[in-house]
């Protein structure tokens, strides 16, 4: 047996798809929270307040709006738990995350025989995965055609596919679901807290799931926001779900949601963390104080600055999200993406490659909404490219960036 020294983790520049650069205020709330159990009155009050702020962040009146303890996939597991074996589902995949969501949906919808035939990656009869090429968006026409053909009970799409940096057509998805009487489920992991939208404007989408550490900018592993329309909750009440911990109805209880109504304080469902609640609560306060619309405008403004800078370095940007650039390196550096990203990461500049083919570079700006932060990211990326032999004049690029910001 060995005992290791205390774990030291350095400060790095989180400039990837997420987790974002955690706000010091969030870390401070986390670290300053007293030792209190999960039924202490301020912890319970914090949960009720966080639930109410989360409704504003989502733009919803949905009573069943709360956080699921864990990561983004925990929230997604909670919403996917509505899907029972044999349910007919159409899921759209255009990158790493919607691909994994599709796998998760296939696990839920499989019969026992289908699961046994391929336990890790089942291929149930009742699920159709519509693959859209990496680098392209899921369009309303694609959704409409698939729903018209298959007439499923559920349809699934990622709003912003972080694997390829593409925004998918939420309005088109909603409209096709409404037209064909299909219940929509959306992965809003990357868009919540970055884009300015009200989920109540998309009534055919009956369930939404997001994550703690991207647009919401709470600590990872705190709370994954979810929201269910009453129609979805009715389905769960009638049919049940094969889970206790991620049960859409039961999981609401600790947040003070009982029998479709808000109550003053929640009751025990599982042991929540006062530290996690404090972090989540502060992150929501920061988002709402900044203002959803202002924050979305700030992302647009700074993404454009960084996009122009990397294009001037010869990169081709294939994404259209406002929190993330996904790009191809110029011809002479093509094929060396992993080497470049590895070199940056080794020096604490935390950019990312894509996690599924084709290999591209991802640079994110979550919580980097200042001239100084974008200038630092552009400068570090320029240095890394030059080190690998790229051919451009860094001063010229930094001057152009300065000119963008000084208008
Ligand atoms: C990051 C991400 C996920 C997974 O979130 P985790 O917090 O890593 O579980 C799922 N979907 C999308 C679109 C994402 O961007």
Please spell the DSSP secondary structure of 172-236, one letter per residue: HHHHHHHHHT-EEEEE-TTTBTTB---GGG-TTEEEEE--SSSTT---TTSEEEEEE-HHHHHHH
Tokens standing for 264? Answer: 């003053």
- If you average pLDDT over residues 139-161, what whole number do you get? 98
**pLDDT score recorded for residue 255:** 98
Q: What is the dihedral of CA 365, 61, 67, 301, to 10 degrees?
A: 0
- If you average pLDDT over residues 9-20, what whole number do you get? 94
The span from the CA of 196 to the CA of 173, in Å, is: 18
Residue 356 has pLDDT above 90, yes or no: no
Tokens standing for 288? Answer: 């709402």
Tokens 């910001």, residue located: 405
Percent of the chain with pLDDT over 70: 100
Q: 379 pLDDT band (50/70/90 cuts)? A: very high
**pLDDT score recorded for residue 357:** 86
138 C-alpha to ligand 1 centroid (Å) = 18
Residue 291 has pLDDT above 90, yes or no: yes
Which tens digits make up the pLDDT trace of 189-235? Answer: 999 999 999 999 999 999 999 999 999 999 999 999 999 999 999 99
DSSP 8-state class, residue 241: -
Q: What is the CB < 6 Å shell around ligand 1?
A: 18, 71-73, 97, 158, 161-162, 187, 189-190, 211
Q: Which atom of ligand 1 is nearest to the CA of 76?
A: 10
Best substitution site from 17, 73, 186 to test ligand 1's pocket, by max atoms within 8 Å of Cβ?
73
217 C-alpha to ligand 1 centroid (Å) = 13
Q: What is the mean pLDDT of the chain?
A: 97
Best substitution site from 190, 209, 276, 354 to test ligand 1's pocket, by max atoms within 8 Å of Cβ?
190
Residue 1 has pLDDT above 90, yes or no: no
Q: Which atom of ligand 1 is nearest to the CA of 95?
A: 13
Alpha helix (H) residue ranges in 33-122: 41-58, 72-80, 96-109, 112-117
Q: What domains lie within the chain, and their CATH numbers?
A: 33-287 (3.40.640.10), 292-406 (3.90.1150.10)
106 C-alpha to ligand 1 centroid (Å) = 17
Which tens digits make up the pLDDT trace of 18-38? Answer: 999 899 999 999 999 999 999
CB 354 within 8 A of CB 362: yes
- If you average pLDDT over residues 384-406, what whole number do you get? 97
Which residue lies with its CA nearest to atom 4 of ligand 1?
72
Percent of the chain with pLDDT over 90: 99
Which residue lies with its CA nearest to atom 6 of ligand 1?
72
Neighbours of 287 (CB within 10 A): 23
Residue 91 has pLDDT above 90, yes or no: yes
175 C-alpha to ligand 1 centroid (Å) = 25
Burial class (CB in 10 A: 0-12, 13-18, 19+), 392: middle
- If you average pLDDT over residues 270-289, what whole number do you get? 97
3-state class of 304 per DSSP?
helix
């Amino acid at each position: 047996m060995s005992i290791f020294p205390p774990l030291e983790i350095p400060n790095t520049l989180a400039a990837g798809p997420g987790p974002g650069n955690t706000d010091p205020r969030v870390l401070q709330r986390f670290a300053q929270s007293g030792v209190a159990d999960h039924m202490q009155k301020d912890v319970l009050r914090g949960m009720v307040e966080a639930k109410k702020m989360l409704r504003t962040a989502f733009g919803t009146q949905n009573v069943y709006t709360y956080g699921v303890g864990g990561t983004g996939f925990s929230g997604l597991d909670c919403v996917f738990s509505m899907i029972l074996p044999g349910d007919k589902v159409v899921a759209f995949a255009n990158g790493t995350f919607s691909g994994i969501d599709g796998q998760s949906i296939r696990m839920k919808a499989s019969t026992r025989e289908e699961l046994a035939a391929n336990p890790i990656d089942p291929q149930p009869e009742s699920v159709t995965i519509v693959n859209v090429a990496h680098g392209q968006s899921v369009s309303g026409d694609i959704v409409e055609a698939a729903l018209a053909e298959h007439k499923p009970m559920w349809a699934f799409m990622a709003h912003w596919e972080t694997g390829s940096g593409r925004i998918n057509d939420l309005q088109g998805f909603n409209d096709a679901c409404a037209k064909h009487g299909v219940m929509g489920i959306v992965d809003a992991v990357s868009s919540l807290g970055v884009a300015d939208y009200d989920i109540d404007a998309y009534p055919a989408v009956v369930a939404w799931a997001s994550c703690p550490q991207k647009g919401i900018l709470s600590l990872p592993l705190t709370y994954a926001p979810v929201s269910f329309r009453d129609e979805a909750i009715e389905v769960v009440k009638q049919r049940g779900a094969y889970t206790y911990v991620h049960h859409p109805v039961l999981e609401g209880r600790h947040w003070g949601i009982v029998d479709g109504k808000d109550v003053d304080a929640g009751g025990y469902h599982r042991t929540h963390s006062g530290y996690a609640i404090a972090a989540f609560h502060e992150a929501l306060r920061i988002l709402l104080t900044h203002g959803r619309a202002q924050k979305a405008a700030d992302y647009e403004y700074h993404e454009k600055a960084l996009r122009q800078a990397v294009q001037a370095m010869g990169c081709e940007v294939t994404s259209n999200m406002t929190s993330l650039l996904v790009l191809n390196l110029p011809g002479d550096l093509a094929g060396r993406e992993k080497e470049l990203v590895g070199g940056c990461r080794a020096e604490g500049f935390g950019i990312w490659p894509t996690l599924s083919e084709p290999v591209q570079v991802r640079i994110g700006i979550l919580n980097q909404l200042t001239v100084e932060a974008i200038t630092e990211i552009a400068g570090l990326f320029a240095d890394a490219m030059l080190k690998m032999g790229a051919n451009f004049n860094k001063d010229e690029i930094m001057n152009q960036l300065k000119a963008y910001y000084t208008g």
